[in-house]
A and B are shown apart, each in its own frame.
Chain A
């Protein structure tokens, strides 16, 4: 990896791009959710936020509603309940928004950009020890996915603190539900990926992607783990059908009942960013990350379809195609999560617990066992 000034500049650019991109994509996802749900339910959806410039009315298919919501939230009265624990009350929304944003730091969103040693790097094993390249990933820690789990499980603190600090019984109920649900599904989430570790022989996300590029996507080697991880990830985001912590019909709005304008917005935004980070994680671990099928580092290799010669491309083109592929995969998974949200009704609280502890957890343990046996036979 490059060191010195280049490293710092590249890192700063990547951090700014990711944070701004995620926050803005969160607002975009809000629009997607509203219009998509409308299309599912034979409605029109919000489309009347209007920007008047001169005699020109710009509606942009309802995209401006997210902006209007932001402005509204900023100008509303920010009321703190008198009995609330002030410090924790104000800290909770921050804690629920920041971890999902930080989580993106270890996710590779494209192949490394090389400008030196390219001849050496192609086809060699030493691809991450040489200098002269910038990885399209903010941080490459050895702990890899363990960082992801550490950050993801700290997200539970936000909901739990919000519930306990805002001096409201409904909030407390919501906080309790959120805490127990997230802790329960964290277990399944962790165990379901263990099978993937065993196959990839690594916990570093960029090496997982590399393994999938070289061999096969994780969804083919670990189909059950994909399903379990997907379910657990949906449960982690606390959205329908796992939105018992919010449960409008039972406990008002759950753990953010007492939060009014922008802080409620931070919870909502954190939820949407979580949708995107969980989609990105799924893409990285199970869907081959940034890999476009048959696209190698120097172009398309379509020997399988009778095309003898590879279609060569410049390195930059490949990088751009790969990054777009990653974004597309994440978008498709995020849309699928939205679709599930508007398809299924809410699970009862005991059903959530039963599903987590008595169905998903044994299945994930069984997956580890079967993966171990199969690997033992393959490796002799």
Chain B
């Protein structure tokens, strides 16, 4: 028939048929792996599995002792950022709790006392509670926040705790976590009364 391509079936040689040669080759492969990995285990020179690499070797990650670092933008446990005077940056606008699809954020807003520089143009959170069991770690609260008060850049993987009450993180607890870099303030400080970078004009003084 025209156009028919006849593919010749490869013939098995006596060496293939007798298994012995092929088995020896296979043993060579496994022995090579065995001796290489065994040597690396004994001398403690196996490739670092916590880093991305393509080296041959034992690829098992001994989890609690060895951990792969999370990427910079990993969404970990929330933190409430602070102003330079140590107060929470949160202005209790309720944007995050509104945006939260799991409805795990509870905020009780309050007015600043008489004479406080911020009184009259913003509020503060008397209570700020996140139920970490309900949270789905979507990051909507971080995106909703207009004042960069809530962040998920702690790099802390939420672990299992002993009872449910421990999962309810209050304001103090949320303010106690530093970011991956170890600071409590936001890195892009907003210009607000009391901040170092404040330009000196407040809303009370008028524009």
Contact = CB atoms under 8 A, between A and B. Distances in A.
A and B assemble together: yes
Interface string B40-64: 0100000000000000111110100
Interface string A330-344: 000000000110111
A38 B33 CA distance: 10
A36 B29 contact: no
A343 B34 CA distance: 11
A380 B23 CA distance: 39
Nearest to A231: B19
B27 A43 contact: no
A355 to B, nearest CB: 8
A328 interface: no
Contacts of B37: 39-40, 42
B70 interface: no
Instruction: Give the interface centre of B29, B34, B59, B60 by most chain A CB atoms within 10 Å.
Output: B34
Contacts of A340: 23, 27
A342 B59 contact: no
Contacts of B59: 42-43
A44 interface: yes
A227 B19 CA distance: 12
Contacts of B120: none
B162 to A, nearest CB: 21
B26 interface: yes
B58 A339 contact: no
B23 A39 contact: no
Interface residues of B, number: 18
B23 A36 contact: no
Given A39-B33, A39-B41, A339 B27 contact: yes
A343 B30 contact: yes
B38 interface: yes
B34 A344 contact: no
Contacts of B126: none
A342 B29 CA distance: 11
Given A39-B34, A42-B33, A339-B34, A344 B41 contact: no
Contacts of A131: none
A351 B56 CA distance: 34
B41 A42 contact: no
Nearest to A48: B62
B20 interface: yes
Contact of B58 (A44, A343, A344): A44
Contacts of B31: 339
Nearest to A342: B30
Contacts of A43: 58-60
Interface in A14-48: 36, 38-44
A343 B62 contact: no
A40 B30 contact: yes
Contact of A44 (B20, B26, B29, B60): B60
A44 B57 contact: no
Given A227-B20, A340-B23, A344-B23, A41 B29 contact: no
A359 to B, nearest CB: 8
Contacts of A227: 20
Interface in A324-380: 339-340, 342-344
A92 to B, nearest CB: 32
A234 to B, nearest CB: 11
Interface of B: 20, 23, 26-27, 29-31, 33-34, 37-38, 41, 56-60, 62
19 contacts: A38-B58, A39-B33, A39-B38, A40-B30, A40-B37, A42-B56, A42-B58, A42-B59, A43-B58, A43-B59, A43-B60, A44-B60, A339-B27, A339-B30, A339-B31, A343-B23, A343-B29, A343-B30, A344-B26
Given A39-B58, A42-B57, 20 more contacts: A38-B58, A39-B37, A39-B38, A39-B41, A40-B30, A40-B34, A42-B33, A42-B56, A42-B58, A42-B59, A43-B60, A44-B60, A339-B27, A339-B34, A340-B23, A340-B27, A342-B30, A343-B23, A343-B29, A344-B26
Interface of A: 36, 38-44, 227, 339-340, 342-344
5 A-B pairs with the lowest CB-CB distances in the bound complex, closest first: A44-B60, A39-B37, A343-B26, A343-B30, A40-B30
